[in-house]
Amino acid sequence: MRIAYSFVVLSFVISIAQAQEVDFDKEFPLSDEELYAPLIGENGELPSDYNDTQNANVINAPNTQQSDDAFERFYQQNADAIQEVTEPVYGEPSEALGYVPQNNAEAEQTPVEIPKNAKSISVNSLPKTSDAENAQSQAESQNENSAQQLNDLERSVESMEMTIESIINRGLSNNKPVEDREAKPLNEIPELTNKSSEDVKSVGILSSENGFRSDVFSTTPYNEARELLMSVAENKLNNRTFKNIITRLLVTQAEPPVSNVPEEEQENWLAVRIQALQSIGEYQQSQTLLAKAGIQPTNVSQYLGLPQVWVKNELVTGNADTTCPFVRNNILNADGIFWRKALLTCQLLTGDEKGLELSLNMVDEKSRRADPLLFSLLDAAQGNAETPILRPDQKLSALHTSIYIFAPDLITPNVVDLMPDIALRKIAKNVALDMSLRIQSAESLVQRFNFIDDVALLGLLYDKAQFDEKIVKSPGVERFADAEIDGSIARALLWQASKFSGLPSTRALTLKALWDRALKDNLDYLAARLIPELRGIQADSNLAWLAPQVIRQSLLVGDIEHAKKWWSVLEKNRSLSRELLLKKDKLSILMAFTTNNLSKKDLDAWLKHISLSDETNRKELESYLTLFEASEVQFPDDIWLELERYSQQQFTSNSTEMSALWLRVLGNALESQNVVASLRLLSKPVFNHNLDEIGDQTLSNIITGLRFIGLPEDAQKLVFEILIQADSTL
């Protein structure tokens, strides 16, 4: 069984884009059963009574005046720490445009066929606190449960791979065998067995063929390597490219860095990696690594640092029934802030009302103030407080997330973008929740992560939103969508509308309106991943007006092959408007990065739209040329000299250094051993300023330049001149 991981599967997106006649509904044939199976009751019931069940199972907090006074003081002291996030992306959906709010409307529809052994999300079905004998029985059955979870994961991925392979086998335009184009995983997930500490440290998903070398950490001191991973955990990693690089590094099978710390005192390297993965929301990757390492309650305590990250992953995944007995046992041996908070969370998740009441009574005010959101969520989940309002810079821990999953009626739009991948999928698939919130969760998945099935899930949810059929098929549907406050509902309307028109141009207009609404809400990667082919819109000369946006979005997510496909439509078109010609000229510069060559023809065409006497234009040109050099893209070298001649950048009152442009042109002159050109540039700062007015870095470059063109004695004399003039005590 081959396992396709999120960043490995990303490579399939490019292949999908190359396919001909790709249609979303055909290529992602997930049924209602596949979409909702995890949420259907054991007896076939849909959780339409979810809210009633929640209210019937709330836990009553101690009703004492002393407790009420303590809570009042707590909220007053922390009022400024719990604030509303300003300008949320989503608003409340309106009903004016034909949208039908689905207050459990799906439960009233014709029920889907219920798979056998499906588990309910009803709160009544959640396990209660186990006595010692029951806890021991659960621990003994963990091996069987873990193996079953792994088998379920493999079957799910196998179904996804079959869908992807059907696309690849049907429509690729090149002649390479399918096997050569597929991104192959490292190997099959092994049986769950105990591994040595060294094996657990180096376990990975990717090999050196599709990740990093196996010795990638061997030349780096342990503290330095750990510092990189901890910086990932402590900071918000927004850049998508670096997030993908770091993720690949974290899941590559590689030997850990060498440390001088005794092994019994050293945190297991797998634990350090998983902490970083969890911090960027990659719980699915963490779950797979833990499964490959064979980590389970009976052996997790053997590896220093792993118990805590394992508990976090299990609680977010929804395995409280097998995880919480471990937490109760472990808190006796490893008492600490995390374990005490994990016990509180477990008591809520398993319905241990008396235990939670007792534990909360023992919590002091200092502990509450250290993590106010956790205690606010515990209170709100029991019905004793309102839904907490988050700070703008709030981060969700695994414990926060597990409570939100347990009590999804606490989730607001502001919470969605803080959730990790597994939690978002649970929200998106929860038929008891409002459709708008479910769509927002699926959109966040597509925007932030790279798993191809998330695109399928989003499309299915878009299709599930109910609208007036006349509005969906209306020629002016874009106007209706533009008037909708809730961006997720507007995009669902446009997604459905883009399916009905028989003309590709009309469908393209509607899809473009969807992209524009996504860009308005800063969901640029979402727009890029909803490619035209998913709505049966193929690259065509009649759609040249659409090509610039498709190319831009494809390049944004690194889908170069798809960008080339639509670039061919634009490049060969000879009947473009002036606006499209300008976009074409600028896009030709971008496409040069894909061919590693910028022709003089394309450069001249672009320069026609640029005035070198304009400082903004010069800076734009300099930025492009700098990135060309860094990317080893070939371009006419004399453009640097021409740009420098136009440039008036000299010293200013706020700068004592020459510009980067001066340094780059100087470098070209020195490399070509052009003595005259080099001297012209080297003398330029000296002609205009005294030596004590020139910055150290510029002086250093002048000395280096003189030595490079064969004037070491003169360089030495200049050094003496600089130092002696600078020191008045000599």
pLDDT at 372 over 90: yes
Q: What is the DSSP letter of 266?
A: S
Q: From CA 376, how far away is CA 341, in angstroms rounded?
A: 13
Instruction: Give the domain range for residue 674.
Output: 649-726
Does residue 714 sit within a domain?
Answer: yes
Q: From CA 581, how far away is CA 593, in angstroms rounded?
A: 19
Q: What is the DSSP letter of 62?
A: P
Residues facing 652 on adjacent strands: 655
**What pLDDT was estimated at residue 419?**
95
- What are the distances in angstroms from CA 67 to CA 366, 381, 387? 15, 18, 19
Instruction: Return the minimum-mean-pLDDT range out of 319-323, 415-419, 430-434, 499-503.
Output: 499-503
Instruction: Return the minimum-mean-pLDDT range out of 1-10, 135-144, 366-375.
Output: 1-10
Task: Please state whether 64 falls in left (phi above 0), alpha (psi between -120 and 50) or beta.
Answer: beta
pLDDT at 193 over 70: no
pLDDT at 109 over 70: no
DSSP string for 269-322: HHHHHHHHHHHTT-HHHHHHHHHHTT--TTTGGGSTTHHHHHHHHHHHHT-HHH
Does residue 658 sit within a domain?
Answer: yes
646 or 678, higher pLDDT: 678
pLDDT at 174 over 60: no
Does residue 435 sit within a domain?
Answer: no
**What pLDDT was estimated at residue 658?**
76
Does residue 703 sit within a domain?
Answer: yes
Tokens of 262: 């005794």
Percent above pLDDT 90 for the chain: 34
| Residue 478 CB contacts under 8 Å (≥ 6 apart), including other chains | 494, 509, 510, 513
Does residue 655 sit within a domain?
Answer: yes
Are 598 and 634 in contact by the 8 Å Cβ rule? The answer is yes
Tokens of 546: 């659409």
Task: Render pLDDT for 250-259 as a digit per residue (tens, 0 to 9).
Answer: 999 999 998 8
Does residue 429 sit within a domain?
Answer: no
Instruction: Return the minimum-mean-pLDDT range out of 509-518, 536-545, 677-686.
Output: 677-686
**Amino acid making up residue 471:** I
Residues facing 100 on adjacent strands: 466
Nearest to 253 by CA among 213, 225, 290, 219: 213
Q: From CA 174, how far away is CA 15, in angstroms rounded?
A: 10
374 or 193, higher pLDDT: 374
User: What's the number of domains the chain is made of?
Assistant: 1
Instruction: Return the minimum-mean-pLDDT range out of 5-9, 320-324, 380-384.
Output: 5-9
| Residue 358 CB contacts under 8 Å (≥ 6 apart), including other chains | none
Residues across the chain: 730
- Binned at pLDDT 50, 70 and 90, residue 348 comes out as very high
Task: Render pLDDT for 119-155 as a digit per residue (tens, 0 to 9).
Answer: 322 223 333 334 444 444 444 455 455 555 545 544 4
Does residue 412 sit within a domain?
Answer: no
| Residue 500 CB contacts under 8 Å (≥ 6 apart), including other chains | 472, 473
> 3-state DSSP: the chain helix, strand, coil percent, rounded to 5?
60, 0, 35
**What pLDDT was estimated at residue 165?**
36
Instruction: Return the minimum-mean-pLDDT range out of 219-223, 239-243, 661-665.
Output: 661-665
Arithmetic mean of pLDDT, 348-372 = 91
**What pLDDT was estimated at residue 62?**
34
Tokens of 689: 């300023």
Greatest CA separation for the chain: 95
Does residue 419 sit within a domain?
Answer: no
Task: Please state whether 88 falls in left (phi above 0), alpha (psi between -120 and 50) or beta.
Answer: beta
> What is the value of pTM for the model shown?
0.71
